[in-house]
Every structure is written in structure tokens, then in C-alpha cells.
Amino acid sequence: MSPMDKLNLGIVGAGGRGASFKAACDALKQVSVHAVCDINADALPGAAKLLGAREQYTDYGEMLEKSELDAVIIGTPMKFHAPQAIAALERNLHVLSEVTAGVSVEECRELVVASKRSRGIYMMAENYTYMQPNVIVRELVRRGLFGTTYYAEGKYLHELKELNEVTVWRRKWQTGINGVTYGTHSLGPILQWMPGERVVAVSGVGSGHHYRDPRGAEYENEDSCLMLCKMASGGLVKIRVDMLSNRPDASTNYQLQGTDGCYESARAWGEKDRIWLRSRCKDTGTWLNLDDLKDEFLPDFWKENMASGEASGHGGGDYFEILDFVDAIEGKRLTPIGIHEAMDMTLPGLVSQLSIQDGSRWMDVPDSRKW
């Protein structure tokens, strides 16, 4: 900790996603952005100014070596997440990593081993689990209003053919591999709606190729990739990730079925999230607006801290994510997305990539708790 008793943060990938943590860090008195790192030397001074950082680095290893840090936030392209997290954990620094946790099962295993050896806490920044509708559904599940949850769907439909050419790492790590490459935004909230569950097996299947990149090459990722997930207690989850099809974005698309309730998120902007609860609806033809349940079911912890949360944007989600990370570091409570929850969200997508190569064969998803 710094002399002022603030947690010194280092943000890597500060010229991109890393900078988006600014408002939440500003709202939290316990943290100070001490150092920033980005390989793009031109972007670095602007990022340092924006984030109020005292130190700037173009080399991540040098930042870890020289800077007095307590924790790092990793906002670099996907292939750097696991190696950069491991390097920080080896120095007993706390890590908040962007999604996904890693790009192969093997490096995920190395990350788990590093995390178990480290005194640093690992948390994955799966921010869709912090979106208000998803938090309200989680609370409804927690209070038993869905009964037993056993089926869910999550869709991430975000056409990024142009963005692919700007942030070129996406061409490889998101659209350059077949199968579900970016599934944690869809699976993450669903896993929290199925408490105690884990995906034990997946089958990956795709819709074929209908688009080419500007160089005329076929994308390795099929346009729509589905991942069917068999859950530990027999339930089923369907994830669809599509980053290529021409269509409006719909990246927060969810459905949940329980014995006593069901939820269907809005399919497009302007529509409402709707919910049916056996205990609240007079018949099966009546839906409720999820938003009308907000006062009753947004968790007290959110209500108590909402003034700071809302000031930092995104309905409070970014703020509560960083707050969970800091509270875990300070030993107040466990992080909700520690190393094993991060693996539960990341590994099924990686195994779906192996399954789709092998004729959609059902494949077991390893349990990181046994690593």
C-alpha cells in the first residue's frame, strides 16, 4: 500500500479498454492509478494524463519491476491476459483481468497454478455480470423466485468486421478461430443464475461462412457459432456468439427458465426485459417488466452505494466491479469472479473450439478446482 494507504494500481493496455476503468477508480477513495503501460508510446502520455498516473511504461515487465504496485488491471488484447496475469501473480500482485481469462486450455491451467501459488487475488472483469438487469435476475434467483433454474440462453451478436481492421488482434483472437471465442459475456451472468452449477461438457457447431475480410479471406470463425452446454446437474445452456453477420447489435441477449419463473431480456434497444414469476403473475399469459421489480430486488449493497456507482457510469456496473475487487483485496469478502469462476466462464468456449474442429463432438470441460 502507498503511504496514503491507497492501493497503487498499474493499468496495462491503458490506450484502449484500460482507460475505461477511470471513472470507477476515481469514484473509489481506496485506489490510486499509480502507473500505466501501453506498447503504443504515442498513446501513453494521453492515457497517463486521463488516468492521473504518475508513471508511464511501454514495457509491462519493466512496470512490474520498477513500479511500487499493489495490483494491476489488464486491458490488453486477449492473448496477453494470461501471461500478464501470471507475471503479476508471480510477484504477489493482485490482478483484475479483462475477458477472456486466457486463449487456450493449457495457458488457463498455468494461470490457475500461478494463482494458487500467489498471495495476490485474481479476479476476471466480466462486466456483464454487473449490468443491472442481470444483477436483479441474480437476486430473484437467490431469493428463490425462479425455483430451480435448468435452462438458459445467452447471445452475443456484435458485428465487428470494421472494428476487426482497427483493433487487428480481433481478426485473430475473436474472428480468426472457429468456435466460441468470446463467450464470457453470455455465459457469465447465466452461471450466476444457476448457483453451484458448472458446464461439464460442450458441443460447438457453426452456421458456415458468408462473409470475407477486406483481403478476400474467409473468416476462420463461422458466422454464428453455437455452444451447447451440459450442466453438472443435467441442465442445458445455449450460447450463440456472432461477430460477423450483418445485423444490429444485440450483445446482452438472455433467457432463463426455472421451475417457478422465466426471464426474457429485451431483444433490441427500446424493448423491455420481461419476466414471468409463478408467485407474482395471475396466469401464464401475464408478463412483468423486470424494471418494475428494481426497487424490491436490486441488492441492498447496490442501493446503499448507488450514489457513487451511478456517478461512474454504466448504471453503476463498473464501480461495483472495482469495488468487489478492492473489497476482496482488503479481505472484506471473496471476489465473486475469482480464478475458478473465471475458468467456469472461459473454459467452455475454449473447449467448444476443439469440439467444432472434431465434428461437434461433445467434449468434457475440465474442472479447474482439480488442477
Ligand X SMILES: NC(=O)c1ccc[n+]([C@@H]2O[C@H](COP(=O)([O-])OP(=O)(O)OC[C@H]3O[C@@H](n4cnc5c(N)ncnc54)[C@H](O)[C@@H]3O)[C@@H](O)[C@H]2O)c1
Which residue ranges make up the site for ligand X (CB under 6 A)? 12-13, 15-17, 37-40, 43, 60, 75-78, 80, 98-99, 127, 167
Contact 355, 363 (CB under 8 A): yes
Task: Quote the least distance from Cβ 23 to ligand X, whole Å.
Answer: 14
Task: Quote the least distance from Cβ 127 to ligand X, whole Å.
Answer: 5
Task: Quote the least distance from Cβ 96 to ligand X, whole Å.
Answer: 11
SS3 call for 307: helix
Dihedral pair phi/psi, residue 27, rounded to 5°: -75, -20
- Containing H/E element for 96? strand 94-97
Type of residue numbered 320? F
For ligand X, the nearest residue by Cβ is 16
Task: Quote the least distance from Cβ 314 to ligand X, whole Å.
Answer: 9
Strand duo 250-258 + 149-157: pairing: antiparallel
The residue among 169 and 287 lying less far from ligand X, judged by its C-beta, is 169
Q: Distance between CA atoms of 28 and 9, rounded to whole angstroms?
A: 12
Cis status of the peptide bond prior to 346, with omega within 30 of 0: no
105, HSE (Cβ side, Cα atoms, 13 Å): 16
Task: Quote the least distance from Cβ 313 to ligand X, whole Å.
Answer: 13
The residue among 231 and 321 lying less far from ligand X, judged by its C-beta, is 321
Task: Quote the least distance from Cβ 15 to ligand X, whole Å.
Answer: 3
Cβ atoms within 10 Å of 4's Cβ, excluding its own: 8
Q: Distance between CA atoms of 170 and 286, rounded to whole angstroms?
A: 42
The residue among 57 and 150 lying less far from ligand X, judged by its C-beta, is 57
The residue among 173 and 276 lying less far from ligand X, judged by its C-beta, is 173
The residue among 38 and 107 lying less far from ligand X, judged by its C-beta, is 38
Question: By C-alpha distance, which of 86, 95, 133, 121 is closest to 314?
Answer: 133
Contact 67, 57 (CB under 8 A): yes
314: left (phi over 0), alpha (psi -120 to 50) or beta: left
Contact 163, 247 (CB under 8 A): no
The residue among 17 and 94 lying less far from ligand X, judged by its C-beta, is 17
Cα 112–107–348 angle (5° rounding)? 80
Task: Quote the least distance from Cβ 67 to ligand X, whole Å.
Answer: 14
The residue among 84 and 203 lying less far from ligand X, judged by its C-beta, is 84
Q: Distance between CA atoms of 302 and 309, rounded to whole angstroms?
A: 8
The residue among 65 and 330 lying less far from ligand X, judged by its C-beta, is 65
Task: Quote the least distance from Cβ 251 to ligand X, whole Å.
Answer: 9
